[in-house]
Structure 1
Amino acid sequence: MFKILGNSPASSVYLCSPNSGKIKTCLVKAKGKRPTHSALVELNMVSAFVGGHAGSKFMKRRRASINLLYGLPRKDFLVNNAVTFVESSLVSEGTEKSTSSIGVREESIVPSWGNVTFEQDRVLKLEEDATQLRTTSKELSTVLDNRVWLGETDEEMLSKRLLTLSRSNKVRSALGLYRSMELFGVKPNIHACNSLLSCLLRKQLLDDALKVFESMRKNDVVTAHTYSLILKAIAYHHDCKSALKLFFELEEDCKLKKDFDVVVYNTMISVCCKVNNWVEAERLWRCLKESNHAGSKVTYSLLVSVFVRCSRNDLALDAYYEMTQNGLKPGHDTMQAVIGACTKEGKWDLALCILQDMLESGLKPNQIAFNSVINSLGKAGKVKLAFEIYKLMRSSGHKPDAYTWNALLGALYRASRYADALWLFESIKVQERSTVSFHLYDTALMSCQKLGLWDKALQLLWQMEASGKLVSTESYNLVIGACEVAREPKVALQVYEHMIHQNRPADIFTHLSLIRACIWGSLWNEVEEILDQVSPNASIYNAYIHGMCLRGRVESAKQVYQKMRKYGLEPDGKTRALMLQYLSNDTSPRKR
């Protein structure tokens, strides 16, 4: 028990030991003068209760008079018969120091108060009691780590103060005020709690934020925004898997699930999108529908985005259909992503409709969307529509690139308009020389092969080599194929020799074109040399046998067939039919 006499800077404190009945007088120096403005007064007091006895009436009256003198609430703090010391100070409102935590010092149970001294056994006893207090009452020790005495108990006023401190990023003050309100049973409103939670997360204090979150759940002061803040923080500081685990644990609780809305689901879908986890995104989409929540525009935009990035175009289209059925208008990026999904799925009609909707709505599709639609139309054989979209792209201010030209050339080639493809290629070389790539050259070489224009193919090949870039084996094969169609085997052999001289390896397609060209040119020795140079291959032997039989060299075809069977190669149906025909003629009995 203690008694304070006087109101001077130095006051006497009488300490009474219940065991000995002795009174010890100490001198306590005040820390500062009382401020002129409104202040919160923190008093360091000792409440001693031993053996469950509260002491005499005189002691109770003294304690009550001290509480009234310093404006403290008439409340006794009795925890496990322990003694709690709180450092005294005078703290002003409106500053960071005003609500900062002072509480029980970890360095020493008994703070240094000038010339205050205690008996050694008394100090040891107090240390043991304080240690027991921290061990047995974790919640109260957490509160005492950072608390202030409340000058008022009005929930609305304290909530506004907590909101102001949180918005000002005064973390210590805001957290101290919240813990003090919790200690005195004063509940801040939801807005103030969420603001404190945001303040802690902005300062990267996840552990404190989780403690506040658990306290809010205990007091049933949570909203969907609260869950969104915590889930995003878990995903940021840990990973997507941890956030999903917490989300589904909370969702299983029917009491907590009622607080979930579409914003919480959008938060988790966004977390999955950042790591391209489309599997969990689809699972969250199903959970959203099972909980009878309607997806928002943000929901479907996120779903379409992650599904397109992960090449799940079917799911992206399903999300788009559901979005339009719910009466939601997709945004610019969503429509462009859906166009890409449609073109990859071969749904050129839907892609064309979406593109037209964008143009009618005043939205400007990007060049990628235009190119995707042109390419999709070209693959579908809609050449005229493809060139109309090309004109729309030019009128929208987009300049065609190599992808655009390749889509148009490909459309003409698939439509068997080989001459038009070559004409367009020459126009591109004159107007857009910088955009001409080897891929465009290959498309032109394919047209030359179909038309048998071996001289044009050679001209394009020399242009490709003159660029200084390495020409691929496929390009040489196209030139050899043009020579094969034009029945120019000698030219084909020259291109082949030049190809080997350029250190470009020949493949099976090279040898097949050469063998077919040499057979039709009756270059039998060259055919034998090519057949000896390549490793045994069923496709090459089949082509050789076909050509020999068609040219009337049946005996040579039989020899090659025997060699083919010796190597264990399987003949195709045409080779088998030819050999059965000729071999049966040889074994049939001759007429006398």
Structure 2
Amino acid sequence: AAIAACERASRWTAALSLLRRGGSLPSWNTAMSACEKAGLWQLALLLFLQLPDYRLSPSGVSYNTAICACEREGLWQDALFLLSQRRELEEADNIAVGSAVSACAKAAQWERAVAMVLKPWDLAVLWSGLVDSRCCSAALLACQKVSKWLQALDLFRGYPAASEVVRHPEPADFAFAASACDEVHHAGPASEIRHALSQSRVLRRSTAALDAVIAMDTIAAGDSCGELLRGMLLNWRRADFIWDKLVSNLAVEPNHICYVAYAKAHLLAAGPTVAVRILDRMRKAGLGSGNGQASVLQLQCLLLLCHSSPTESHLSDLATFLEGSAGLNVTGSGRLLESEWRQLRNSATQLSSEPSSLTLHQLLVLYHVKRRSLMTTWPDYAAGLEYLSSQSSEVKP
């Protein structure tokens, strides 16, 4: 009881002190758990290895704690070895399997993580009935780390049939699936996943779900419509509808990812003014500070506004943003985002010193903006022609 109390209070030193006086296997398991929860994975594994010295045989709980300790450091080989040993002892449970999959994910062993979820019957240890949503989320994370977007989509779409247990994707998984569709520009899977999301209760309680629906509408509209203009109009109006329904009617509290997706929808529909307002609302809500995706999106919008209409107000907004984001570090955010940030900053410098040297299409820097935005269909306007205002009769975001 005393050691259990130490575990609940994360007092691992006290737990070890009590253990030195001797103890049963449950006491050792509790001490191991206290160390694991305190982040002392080496000590937890050491206690596990010392069990035979005290003539104690590890139980399923012992193995679970040791596997969880391996998960913390991405020790995937050790985690799988312990899982196989646990299977020899007794039937594994979803804690052990989930921790092993997560260990593979943290070590970027995406092939093994996906195989454990989609094809558990191919492995030496059979645990197909124990693969749950946590396992699938971990495998999706492994795919994300190495940009295996198509494999991630296969995994997400295989959710219902991947095991004998009925599972449902976690809220964040929908948002990740939207990102995967976005990266490979697949409207078909996006529509399927969006339909599944609309049928799920998760839509009513998840900001990740809101982000996913908006992002998927962006993908589907841009890819499934015969006319780009019609597709973009559907996109921003659909985004407005979803935002109003969930945020205003259902009181879902959006996170920064939702705001960025919403702003992006309007930017693709040639509405940088509205996109900037959305991002400003996000920052006033205390969200997205230092976020790379939000920053590149806002700088793209500000450059377009200054290029179209270089008013004192627009130029002042651009200068304020550049000054406030001077220390932003996007290193580690992905090579594409790092490149876009550098290019946007260079364009800002060039626009400030010699605006006539840049045309509209040269300012379309972000990957999806220069490939799928409505502005790609416009003439390659020179600076100062107020083309955003002149096109407002066609698009009013």
TM category (shorter chain) comes to 0.5 to 0.7
Distance (Å, rounded) in 2 between the aligned partners of 1:411 and 1:397? 19
Q: Which digits, 9 at most, give the CA deviation of each residue in 1:147-203, with x for residues without a partner?
A: xxxxxxxxxxxxxxxxxxxxxxxxxxxxxxxxxxxxxxxxxxxxxxxxxxxxxxxxx
SS in 2 for 1:563: helix
> Structure 1 residues 541, 564: closer, same or farther in 2, change over 3 A?
farther
Matches within 5 A, 1:536-551: 537=283, 543-547=297-301, 549=303
Q: CA deviation at 1:303?
A: 1.9
Distance (Å, rounded) in 2 between the aligned partners of 1:271 and 1:552? 62
SS in 2 for 1:535: helix
Q: CA deviation at 1:272?
A: 4.2
Distance (Å, rounded) in 2 between the aligned partners of 1:506 and 1:301? 41
* 1:502 corresponds to 2:280: no
> Structure 1 residues 308, 551: closer, same or farther in 2, change over 3 A?
same
Distance (Å, rounded) in 1 between the aligned partners of 2:303 and 2:103? 43
1:418 to 149, 161, 164: 149
Matches within 5 A, 1:510-549: 510-521=258-269, 523=270, 526-532=271-277, 535=280, 537=283, 543-547=297-301, 549=303
8 Å Cα contact 1:548-1:556 kept in structure 2: no
Code of the aligned partner of 1:571: S
> Structure 1 residues 579, 325: closer, same or farther in 2, change over 3 A?
farther
Q: Which residue of 2 aligns with 1:582?
A: 351
8 Å Cα contact 1:340-1:369 kept in structure 2: yes
Q: CA deviation at 1:270?
A: 6.1
Code of the aligned partner of 1:374: V
> Structure 1 residues 516, 335: closer, same or farther in 2, change over 3 A?
closer
SS in 2 for 1:494: helix
Matches within 5 A, 1:432-451: 434-439=166-171, 440-451=173-184
Q: CA deviation at 1:448?
A: 1.6
Q: Which digits, 9 at most, give the CA deviation of each residue in 1:11-70, with x for residues without a partner?
A: xxxxxxxxxxxxxxxxxxxxxxxxxxxxxxxxxxxxxxxxxxxxxxxxxxxxxxxxxxxx
Distance (Å, rounded) in 1 between the aligned partners of 2:315 and 2:46? 55
* 1:395 corresponds to 2:126: yes
8 Å Cα contact 2:267-2:275 kept in structure 1: no
Matches within 5 A, 1:380-391: 380-386=107-113, 387=115, 390-391=120-121
Distance (Å, rounded) in 1 between the aligned partners of 2:322 and 2:154? 48
* 1:335 corresponds to 2:63: yes
Distance (Å, rounded) in 1 between the aligned partners of 2:26 and 2:199? 52
Q: Which residue of 1 aligns with 2:45?
A: 317
Distance (Å, rounded) in 2 between the aligned partners of 1:336 and 1:529? 51
2:207 to 470, 473, 486: 473
8 Å Cα contact 1:476-1:495 kept in structure 2: no
Q: Which residue of 1 aligns with 2:381?
A: none
8 Å Cα contact 1:394-1:400 kept in structure 2: no
Q: Which digits, 9 at most, give the CA deviation of each residue in 1:402-426, with x for residues without a partner?
A: 3333344444454444333333443
Q: CA deviation at 1:499?
A: 1.2
Q: Sequence identity, in percent? A: 18
Unaligned runs of 5+ in 2: 224-230, 248-252, 284-288, 328-341, 356-397
SS in 1 for 2:325: coil
Q: Which residue of 1 aligns with 2:189?
A: 456
Distance (Å, rounded) in 2 between the aligned partners of 1:425 and 1:542? 29
8 Å Cα contact 1:428-1:436 kept in structure 2: yes
Q: CA deviation at 1:347?
A: 1.7
Distance (Å, rounded) in 2 between the aligned partners of 1:527 and 1:348? 46
Q: CA deviation at 1:493?
A: 0.6
Matches within 5 A, 1:165-564: 269=3, 272-273=6-7, 277-284=11-18, 288=20, 300-308=28-36, 312-323=40-51, 330-359=58-87, 361-386=88-113, 387=115, 390-391=120-121, 392=123, 395=126, 398-429=129-160, 434-439=166-171, 440-471=173-204, 472-482=206-216, 486=222, 489-504=232-247, 506-521=254-269, 523=270, 526-532=271-277, 535=280, 537=283, 543-547=297-301, 549=303, 553=307, 555-556=309-310, 559-563=313-317
Distance (Å, rounded) in 1 between the aligned partners of 2:109 and 2:12? 34
Q: CA deviation at 1:508?
A: 4.1
> Structure 1 residues 320, 438: closer, same or farther in 2, change over 3 A?
closer
Distance (Å, rounded) in 2 between the aligned partners of 1:393 and 1:502? 49
Higher helix share: 2
8 Å Cα contact 2:175-2:211 kept in structure 1: no
Distance (Å, rounded) in 1 between the aligned partners of 2:193 and 2:111? 27
Distance (Å, rounded) in 2 between the aligned partners of 1:495 and 1:330? 56
Distance (Å, rounded) in 2 between the aligned partners of 1:469 and 1:274? 31
Higher strand share: 1
> Structure 1 residues 324, 484: closer, same or farther in 2, change over 3 A?
farther
Distance (Å, rounded) in 2 between the aligned partners of 1:557 and 1:517? 25
Query: Who wins on radius of gyration, i.e. which is larger?
Result: 1
Distance (Å, rounded) in 1 between the aligned partners of 2:218 and 2:154? 23
Unaligned runs of 5+ in 1: 1-234, 236-267, 587-592
8 Å Cα contact 1:272-1:278 kept in structure 2: yes
Code of the aligned partner of 1:582: L
> Structure 1 residues 272, 358: closer, same or farther in 2, change over 3 A?
same
8 Å Cα contact 1:270-1:302 kept in structure 2: yes
Q: How many residues align?
A: 310
> Structure 1 residues 554, 581: closer, same or farther in 2, change over 3 A?
farther
Q: So what's the TM-score if we normalise by structure 2? A: 0.61
8 Å Cα contact 1:276-1:306 kept in structure 2: yes
8 Å Cα contact 2:156-2:177 kept in structure 1: yes
> Structure 1 residues 276, 337: closer, same or farther in 2, change over 3 A?
same
> Structure 1 residues 553, 516: closer, same or farther in 2, change over 3 A?
farther
8 Å Cα contact 2:51-2:58 kept in structure 1: yes
8 Å Cα contact 2:7-2:15 kept in structure 1: yes
User: Relative contact order: is structure 1 or structure 2 higher (C-alpha 8 Å, sep ≥ 6)?
Assistant: 2
> Structure 1 residues 437, 385: closer, same or farther in 2, change over 3 A?
closer
SS in 1 for 2:280: coil
Code of the aligned partner of 1:436: H
8 Å Cα contact 1:449-1:479 kept in structure 2: no
> Structure 1 residues 276, 531: closer, same or farther in 2, change over 3 A?
closer
